[in-house]
Structure 1
Amino acid sequence: MADQPDDTTARDSSGNADEDPQVGRPSPTSKQDLLDALDDVLATTGGPIATTSEVAERVEIKERTVRMKLSELADDGRVATRKIGSGRVWWPIEPDDQGTEDPDK
């Protein structure tokens, strides 16, 4: 039997890397990757907001990881968020923007 490489990176059902809850390793997706994915969703849909699942589809990692990283970006003042029903929507904000206004107004 051949030796198998020791791959401790967690994979989702489609084989994509995600954070490994066993060892606490972060996902390889950076905050900038999420900002780029958010911009891509907005450009594709033509809308002012994106859902967590839309962004997760672009970066191909689990929604919980995307939600956590987008929350960090919100704490950093780089995106704004609003709870809609049981989910959240996100939109980028400019550094001088307060991010408190609803983009649908």
Structure 2
Amino acid sequence: MTDKPGPDPTADRKSILEALALAYSPVLGTSDIAERTGVSRQAVDQRLRRMTEDGLVDTRKIGRARVWWITNEGRAYLDPVTDSGNQ
């Protein structure tokens, strides 16, 4: 029996958001995120597109490259206590 095709289960939201949040640069390309998380570029791209729909990351195409950055909602997802204003 073969597994159904789909996103790599190791391309989880938290590891991608942490890679974006901890990056020196305010934006990262898909390949940069894949390298930092150790997940295939295709799996990261699929996950990032869903995360954009959920408001956790934002994106822009610059030339032929696509860059990504974490949103305030994404930062709240990583640390809901700190970012909720309940300090």
1:1-105 alignment, distance < 5 Å: 23-29=4-10, 30-40=12-22, 42=23, 46-95=24-73
Q: How many Å apart are 1:28 and its aligned residue?
A: 2.5
Q: How many Å apart are 1:25 and its aligned residue?
A: 4.8
Structure 2 length normalisation: TM-score? Answer: 0.70
Larger Rg: 1
Structure 1 length normalisation: TM-score? Answer: 0.59
Q: How many Å apart are 1:34 and its aligned residue?
A: 1.1
Q: State how far apart, in whole Å, the 2-side matches of 1:24 and 1:76 are.
A: 22
After TM superposition, what 4+ stretches of structure 1 lie above 2 angstroms from structure 2? none
Over aligned residue pairs, what C-alpha RMSD do you find? 2.0
Q: Deviations over 1:45-88 (max 9, x none)?
A: x2211111110001112111111101111110011100112221
Higher relative contact order (CA 8 A, sep 6+): 2
Gaps of 5+ in 2: 74-87
Greater fraction of residues in helix:
2
Q: Compared with structure 1, are the counterparts of its residues 52 and 25 closer, same or farther at alpha carbon in structure 2 (3 Å cutoff)?
A: closer
Q: Quick one: which amino acid aligns to residue 5 of structure 2?
A: G
SS of 2:61's partner is strand
Q: Quick one: which amino acid aligns to residue 28 of structure 1?
A: P
Q: State how far apart, in whole Å, the 2-side matches of 1:67 and 1:87 are.
A: 12
Gaps of 5+ in 1: 1-7, 9-21, 96-105
